[in-house]
Amino acid sequence: MPILTAGTKAPNFSLHVTPDQKLSLSELRGKPVVLAFYPADWSPICGDELSVFNEILPELRTYDAELVAISVDGAWCHDAFAKHKHLHFPLLSDFEPKGLTARAYGAYREADGVCERALFVLDKDGLITWSYCSPVAVNPGADGILKALEELPK
Amino acid sequence: MSKLSIAVTKHDHIQGNPDAACSLVEYGDYECPACGEVQTIIKRLQAHFGSQMSFVFRNFPLREIHPWAQPAAEVAEFAGSRGRFWEMHDLLFENQESLDDGLFEALILKLDLSGSDLKRARSSDMTKKRIDADFAGGIRSGVNGTPSFFLNGERYDGPTDQESLAALMEQVLISDGD
């Protein structure tokens, strides 16, 4: 299944954001949301990609947008990775049942057992307005996200 | 494919012939080891391609993971305001494992940037604005980590070893009929 496209309602999810806390997409309703699925904590490309996203947080704030990143890694792994990279946005664990959320977005790589490198921008009502699936070896950068946020109705 | 959103102008730090058929733009971070390693490769490419290529360096300090990247960029830009950008740029990369205020002071002294000190170098609004503008332009162009390269305005996602870069540049030159 290809990734969900603009005009689709973003499927809700409730995933661990820390070992003892969960975050649901519905809690972010009312704000634009950027969902960044990525294959793996600690891999070089994902590390670069998330470090760049980390640096655009001030700009995301000007759109009142929330960024959450999702991979199949466990919450403790996310915790160590986020500390190592000084990441200031939540990393969610699509860990059990593995890849359930990624599958709902069409962003799961069955053969590899990891998420695609896929980006989604949601409007404040939870509707997907832009999505992009990058070749897994190519880091997409943040230009597409910012352009999509810019195009949201004010 | 992401494209360079900020065109190269005379306000850029540019080496080589600005009208060359191959324009290579790097977004880099002085504390990034991969940017340090690629320095030698760029110098070899410049030696090989001569007036057929130009090279531009723009700042992309990943401040959260590299605490000395922004101060180093400020020092380089300050040297640039005195016409000594490339010398400082090279010295910072050569010493990228020991970036700190002591090193910056020593390099300012070494380049004999007369009448200036580190405090003055680091408090310039003009240099800070330039670095912020480089960074914002980089994000808009799809810079996705450091170093990021744009060859004639197109983001290059391939390997950054000398052979791969040289092969691609040869191709660009051939397709330009140059």
Token pair of A114 as six digits: 């990891």
**What is the fold, at CATH topology level, of the domain defined by A32-150?**
Glutaredoxin (3.40.30)
Per the CB < 8 Å rule, is B65 touching A86?
yes
List the one residue out of A83, A66, A74 whose CA is nearest residue A40: A74
Strand partners, B16: B54
By C-alpha distance, the chain A residue nearest B4 is A143
pLDDT 10s digits, A103-146: 999 999 999 999 999 999 999 999 999 999 999 988 999 999 99
What are the structural domain ranges in chain A?
32-150
Chain B positions touching A139 (Cβ under 8 A) are 144-145, 157
List the one residue out of B65, B132, B25 whose CA is nearest residue A49: B65
Judge whether residue B177 has pLDDT over 60: no
Nearest chain B Cα distance for residue A97, angstroms: 31
Gap between the Cα atoms of B108 and B122, Å rounded: 12
Q: Model confidence at B121, in pLDDT bands (50, 70, 90)?
A: confident
Residues of B with CB under 8 A from a CB of A: 2, 5, 62-65, 135-136, 139-146, 148, 155, 157
Gap between the Cα atoms of A142 and A144, Å rounded: 6
Instruction: Say whether A46 is catalytic.
Output: yes
Token pair of B69 as six digits: 């990247």
Per the CB < 8 Å rule, is B64 touching A140?
no
Judge whether residue B58 has pLDDT over 90: yes
Cβ atoms of residues B105 and B116 within 8 Å: no
Chain A positions touching B73 (Cβ under 8 A) are none
* Residue A77, pLDDT score: 97
Cβ atoms of residues A149 and A121 within 8 Å: yes
* Residue B60, pLDDT score: 97
Max Cα distance, chain A (Å): 41
Judge whether residue B116 has pLDDT over 70: no
Three-state secondary structure call for residue A152: coil
Radius of gyration for the alpha carbons in chain B, expressed in angstroms and rounded: 16
Judge whether residue B175 has pLDDT over 90: no
pLDDT 10s digits, A9-56: 999 999 999 999 999 999 999 999 999 999 999 998 878 999 999 999
Q: Report the residue from B63, B141, B146 with minimal CB separation from A143.
A: B141
Domains of chain B and CATH, by start: 13-175 (3.40.30.10)
CA dihedral A33, A35, A41, A47 (to 10 degrees): -80
CA dihedral A20, A24, A27, A32 (to 10 degrees): 120
Query: Parallel, antiparallel, or unpaired: how do β-strands B13-16 and B154-156 relate?
Result: unpaired
Could you please report the per-residue DSSP string of B12-23?
SEEEE-TT-SEE
CA-to-CA dists, residue A84 to A80, B54, B114, angstroms: 6, 37, 40
Q: Quote the mean pLDDT of chain B.
A: 92
Chain A positions touching B141 (Cβ under 8 A) are 141, 143
